[in-house]
Amino acid sequence: MEHKDIDHLFRHHSGKMVSVLTRIFGLAHLDIIEDAVQDTFLKASVSWRKQQPDYPEAWLTKAAKNRVLDIFRTLKTQQKHIGQLSTGTDAIAINELFLDKEIEDAQLRMIFTACHPKLDPRDRISFSLKTVSGFSTKEIASALLTKDETIKKRLMRARKSIQKADLKFSIPQGKALKERLETVMEVLYLIFNEGFHSNKKEQLIREDLCGEAMRLCQLLLKHETTRQPKVYALFALMCFHSARLASKTNINNEVLDLKHQDRTQWHFPLVQLGNTMMNKAVDTEEFSSYHYEAAIAAEHLKAHSFEDTDWDKILQWYLSLYELQPMPSHVLTMAVICLQNNDYKSAESYFKKLDPDTLEQRKYLYYGAKADYYKATNNLKSALEHIGKAINYVNNDLEKQYLLKKQAAWLKET
């Protein structure tokens, strides 16, 4: 029989089964449920060695159904209170929950549980990756560059919060849905960024994280109540960024800025998908920050070369974004855009608005950009002074090298 290689089948199915079984038995029994699901995969990994079933997914779903009875038995021996599986109609009702549509529904409930405001924000990501995405503690630790122990603690704490608040395994409705959807999107955005922005991680892990965030975002889009313009915008943003994921680093895993990326490596099917999503996202009066971020990402992708970039347009999007999120880092970005555009007067006015200390660890970016500004306006003395400060504040070695190189070149001009 031919080898049916379905990417991440086990991982994804693990999330589905944990969700469905939680819908049946409740969040209180998550431990038992996770053990039962894990056991299914252990069995599958051995019994499939010789021959894989023709329909692996159906096989796994059937195995999960069989687990329902096992779990009933376990709970009974532990004397835990749980409804009896007494009549045939109960069995039919449970059977229904394993239909595709109901599985998706259960997964959404799990996402909303994982992103509940009662959970510590740091615990939300770990708990989502574990229960919704089927990552192991070790996999989460390496994805988030944290210790196993830390993740274990976060997962424990998340469970405790869930028990303590006695959370219902449900999708919120009405006004509550609106607020909770915000946190869900925030968590998905963070998971995506964990993958997209870290150069310390292996490419595979980064792709996994971005892929997971996109898969969960798609789940939101499949469901009527969560299929909203800003979710489309978030998905579009992820598409646009993902299209550049492979070109973000060179073979030495060094980060390349937009100027030095090989644009032929961009993945255009994802750009197209992003555009389609964007068209649906703009069907609203009210734009979210995800709309503007997606628009900015799209603008960068449109340019055939770095020099072709339409900086005026990008600046417009940043101005709109800044209105929604008045963050100093956006002001700095706008200053840098003006420098790209050779509009030194506007750049200067943005610099004036900024107090470098508000940028915290990114303070060096301010001094670096300001050094560029002085250099461009032929004030070499101030330029050197500022690049010195930038080098002083920078933490990342690669970026430090980059700044030192620049400084050396400028010193030659004195």
Partner 1 sequence: MKNFMMIFIGADYADLGLSPEELQNRMGKWFAWGHKMEQAGILRGGEALTPQIRRIVGENRTVTDLTSAEVKEIVGGYYTVEAKDFDAVQDIARDFPDYDLGGTVEIREIMVFDK
Q: How far is CA 118 from CA 22, 25, 172, in A?
A: 19, 21, 14
Which SS3 state, helix, strand or coil, does residue 19 take? Answer: helix
- CB atoms < 10 A from the CB of 96, how many? 10
- Judge contact between 185 and 230, C-beta under 8 A: yes
* Distance in Å, CB of 171 to partner 1, minimum: 25
Structure tokens at 45: 């990994």
Quick one: which of 138, 222, 260, 302 contacts partner 1 (CB under 8 A)? 138
- Which CB atom, from 61 or from 333, has the smaller least distance to partner 1? 61
Binding range to partner 1, per CB under 8 A, among 42-50, 101-109, 239-247, 387-395 = 42-50
Output 41 or 366, the one with its CB closest to partner 1.
41
DSSP assignment letter at 200: S
Q: Tell me how far apart the alpha carbons of residues 409 and 404 are, in angstroms, rounded to a whole number.
A: 9
Structure tokens at 125: 């990501």
Smallest gap from Cβ 9 to partner 1, in A, equals: 6
Q: At what angle do helices 174-197 and 203-222 cross, to 10 degrees?
A: 160
**32 or 239: CB nearest partner 1:** 32
Closest CB to partner 1 among residues 38, 247: 38
Q: Output the smallest distance, CB 267 to partner 1, in A.
A: 23
Of the pair 210, 271, the CB lying nearest partner 1 is at 210
- Between residues 127 and 235, which has the closer beta carbon with respect to partner 1? 127
Q: Which one of 26, 38, 85, 348 is in contact with partner 1 (CB under 8 A)?
A: 38
Closest contact distance (angstroms) between CB of 59 and partner 1 is 12
In 3D space, the residue among 155, 297, 193, 284 whose CA is nearest the CA of residue 231 turns out to be 284
Q: Tell whether residue 152 is a contact of partner 1 (CB under 8 A).
A: no
Side chain identity at 267, as an amino acid letter? Answer: H
The phi, psi pair for 255, rounded to 5°, reads: -75, 135
Rounded Cα distance, 310 and 319, in Å: 15
CB atoms within 10 A of CB 119: 26
Q: Is 139 in the site for partner 1 (CB under 8 A)?
A: yes
User: Is the Cβ of residue 129 or residue 336 nearer to partner 1 in the bound state?
Assistant: 129
Q: x/- site string to partner 1, residues 12 to 31, per CB under 8 A?
A: -xx-----------------
Strand partners, 255: 249
120 or 148: whose CB is closer to partner 1? Answer: 148
Q: Does 153 bind partner 1 (CB under 8 A)?
A: no
Among the listed residues 25, 112, 135, 240, the single contact to partner 1 using CB under 8 A: 135
Are 271 and 301 in contact by the 8 Å Cβ rule? The answer is: yes
Cα separation, 373 vs 335, in Å, equals 9
Q: Which of 52, 284, 316, 320 binds partner 1 (CB under 8 A)?
A: 52
Write out the residues near partner 1 by the rule CB under 8 A.
3, 5, 8-11, 13-14, 38-39, 41-42, 44-50, 52, 134-139
